[in-house]
Amino acid sequence: MPELSICMPSNRNLAQSRAAIDSAIAYCEARDAVLIVSDNSGDPEKRAHFHNRSPRLTWIDAGNASPFANMRLALDAATTPFVMPMGDDDEIHAVEGQPTFDLAGLPYDYMGVLPVSVVFAEKHGTMHSKAFALTDEDPGERMGQYIGGAKGNNSLYYSMFRRDVFSALLHDFVEHHPTKGMYCDWALLLALICYGKMAHDPGTVFRYNMGNWDSAEKIGDMYVDLYRNAGLPAEAIKFDSLLMYLDTFVFAMRQGSPVPPDQRQRLGRIVTNRLLGSFIQKVANAPEAYDGTVRHLATMALEEPDSFVEFQIAMMMVDRLQPGLKDRYVTFVRTLMAPAGTGA
């Protein structure tokens, strides 16, 4: 029986998505996996082309679902123990001569498997590749290794994860996050890294299309669009590390986290030191970019020994980005951290 489902939300038309879908079908046939495409493109030619294309392919007509809701539809259709998200302008390939990774034998303290990630753009060709595992016992060390190895992009979000954990996390995000912004992929992956180790599969190559991010100008515009589309002002870029900290902290510490309760206080301290510390340093390096309240709160957080109090201070800081955002985060925290059955 297949162990892996590739879950692809697809908004592009046939011409723009064909290479991605064809590569995923070929990979599934080579690796005994299945492909689930949740299509909200509205392109009848695309649906007709892939009708009965392969027994490995499940096609979902997603109507006009939003991007993350479309991803959720694909995940909800998966029944395999592991899932792998995939974009419809990316490609995936099985390396000839390399054996299929034994997902069924993955130790319990591993959250998933990282492929070889090759970043490319039509303008530049292959830009760089990443190939590593995250096997340190300490979640902070795993986060640090990933951030250092990511080379400025989060392409390894497209990896193999335990379905029950990944699906529950994405549901919590889609249903409860204050902005539901697509910039949150970093926090989602960092939370998964907090949950457990990640192995490496040298026999799977994921080609991540960096075409929308292939110049400094495009990168700046894309970040502004990500925040604007999430309902945040353009200056959110100055608060990016604060937003990443808040989201990672909640996702890592949420009630549904597989991290044992007796380890969560230590995990909260690790996440705070690693990520909130980065924002405080950013404020210290460019104090003129932030108002007096943010500077004062950053100093308070720096002097506070309790990570949960620091988190509360961070929520006050995010209100300086957008009034009312703190209250939305409070609701988010209460919903995700409340014990099951107790409500918010």
CA distances 124 to 142, 209, 214, 231, 298, Å, are 30, 11, 8, 32, 40
- pLDDT value of position 212: 60
Question: Is the pTM for the entire model greater than 0.85?
Answer: yes
* Per-residue pLDDT, 17: 97
DSSP state of 231: T
User: How many other C-beta atoms lie within 10 A of the C-beta of residue 135?
Assistant: 14
CB within 8 Å of 152: residues ≥ 6 apart: none
Residue with tokens 């980065």: 278
Taking the alpha carbons of 72, 78, 80, 83 in that order, is the dihedral positive or negative?
negative
Q: Say how far apart CA 227 and CA 162 lie, in whole Å.
A: 29
Let me know: does 283 contact 245? Beta carbons within 8 Å.
no
Which ranges of 2-138 does DSSP label H, i.e. alpha helix? 14-31, 44-50, 67-77
| Residue 263 contacts residue 139 (beta carbons within 8 Å) | no
Residues contacting 114, CB < 8 A, separation 6+ = 131, 132, 133, 134, 156, 159, 160, 198, 199, 200, 201
Please report, as a single letter, which amino acid is at residue 294: V
Alpha-carbon span 123 to 73, nearest angstrom = 33
Give pLDDT tens digits for 80-130.
999 999 999 999 999 999 999 999 999 999 999 999 999 988 776 777 899
Residue-wise pLDDT for 81-95, tens only, equals 999 999 999 999 999
Instruction: Give the pLDDT of residue 152.
Output: 81
Report DSSP state, residue 32: T
Provide, rounded to the nearest whole percent, the portion of the chain with pLDDT above 90. Answer: 83
- Residue 262: partners with Cβ closer than 8 Å, 6 or more residues away: none
Residues of the chain with pLDDT under 50: 340-344
pLDDT of residue 219: 62
Q: From CA 170, how far away is CA 162, in angstroms rounded? A: 12
Q: Which residues in 145-171 are b (16+ Cβ under 10 Å) and which e? A: bbbeebeebbbbbbbbbbbebbbbbbe
Contacts of 332 (CB under 8 A, 6+ apart): 176, 177, 178, 250
Residue type, 327: D
